[in-house]
Amino acid sequence: MKIEYNKDEFTLEQIENEINESMDGGLNLKMKEKDEKGNTRFMTAVLYDSSKVANLIIEYANRNKIVLNLNEKIKSSSNSYYPIEQAVHNGNVELVNLIINYANTNNIVLEFNDIVSLVESIFKGSNNINLIITVLDYISDINNRNKLIVNKVLNGIFLTTIKNDNLNSLKLIVDYANIKNNVLNLNESYLLNIYGEYDFLSRRIVKFLYIKNMLKQIKITFQIGNQKLLKKGLLDRCGKIAERCSYLNDYPQLVIATKNFQAENDLEEIDIIQGDIIVVMDWYTEEGNKEGWITGYKKGNIKKIGLIPKVFVKPLVIATRNYLTEEPDELSLFKNDILVVTNWEHNDGWVYGYKKDNRDQKGKFPKVFVDWNIHVSNSDNFEAGEASELPSYDEVMKREL
């Protein structure tokens, strides 16, 4: 028996039944046909947020070689949106992707009422970063001029995710911005004016921002003056800094992992295994003891930079010349020996440690026979670095250990 359908207003159930009946050859649908409100079947499916019915309509249109009109505004009691805008406001990523894919397949450029307002409104009303990225991806691809809009919106989202302490969303936004070559800017003074002191910043957010700035994946404009708020936030949570060794950025210090460390659900810490060699990019230590963190990467894996608790590592030094001794408590050295320092203040002018490749060869040795400036060749051999006018290792270790 043929079913009579209501033309005053299409319903999802009605459309689904119509398509099922058409599969049996009993009904020939006109995709341009509108109900009394002025909406086609596809517009109705989008209005009522049905990915299932929208997909059925697309499949029907494809089978019958019909091209759907995606640039006609949907009629509703509250707003008048294009289908893509309505799907975005619905927060339906599946439906948004369905419309975008159909448009791309049929060389249709989707229209928007106001791209900026659309993207800003969906971010305010949704934590669905994947939806936002999908829309930003599309609008930046269809028009180069939209890339400025995308950059502006990304920076706004960037600041908001920081404020909301949403690390997963923050990571997605930073990664996406880098893929698209968008620069994310963070101005400490601006944040201070809005939020006051940085008590709202969790340790994990501070660590994430610090690492990304070091990797040049974001650009932080630090507050003028000696006190940098982000750095202060990092130090307050990870240990106070005695004195930053800025020269270590040009001449990285090598340390060795003395025990295993597993990052605890933290995107910016890295796992280490006993014996790993780590290149230190920065030191953060609590004045008066050895607690704190280092920033660095495992030798040979510069793409993965992160934070490591300082108590899990010991510094490496290289012997600059031979030192032969028969004293039972002393350690003989040969030029280019790599040593692990366990006590830099063993005795005046002496340090205590062991050979990197043999922990049983241990003892004290003169400080003047070793240097912290170690060069690692492409073949992973260790060599003494070129002499420089940098502070002595003695000075460095007094401050760092």
Structure tokens of 332? Answer: 């003989």
Rounded to 5°, angle at Cα 201 from 157 and 154: 10
Tell me the two tokens of residue 107.
Answer: 């060389």
Cβ–Cβ < 8 Å for 131, 88: yes
Check whether domain 246-400 has CATH 3.40.50.300, yes or no: no
The dihedral sign for the CA sequence 223, 226, 231, 237: negative
Domain segments of the chain as ranges: 1-112, 114-238, 246-400
Residue 353 neighbours by CB distance under 10 Å: 24
pLDDT of residue 281: 74
The confidence score (pLDDT) of residue 40 equals 92
Q: In 10 A of CB 78, how many CB atoms?
A: 5
pLDDT score for 266: 59
Q: What angle do CA 66, 71, 72 make, to 5 degrees?
A: 95
CATH 1.25.40.20 is right for the domain spanning 1-112: yes
pLDDT 10s digit of each residue in the chain, 401 long? Answer: 444 555 667 889 988 888 888 876 656 778 888 888 899 999 999 999 999 999 999 999 998 899 999 999 998 877 788 999 999 888 898 999 999 999 999 999 998 887 767 776 666 655 677 888 888 888 877 766 677 778 888 888 888 888 777 888 888 889 888 888 888 988 877 666 655 555 556 767 777 887 787 777 888 887 665 455 565 555 554 443 333 333 333 344 788 999 999 887 555 788 999 999 998 877 654 444 445 778 788 888 877 777 888 889 988 989 999 999 889 999 999 999 999 998 887 888 899 999 998 989 999 999 899 987 775 554 455 555 544 333 444 444 444 44
The rounded distance, in Å, linking the Cα atoms of 113 and 242 is 56
User: In the numeric block, which tokens belong to residue 302?
Assistant: 């510069």
CB 373 within 8 A of CB 395: no
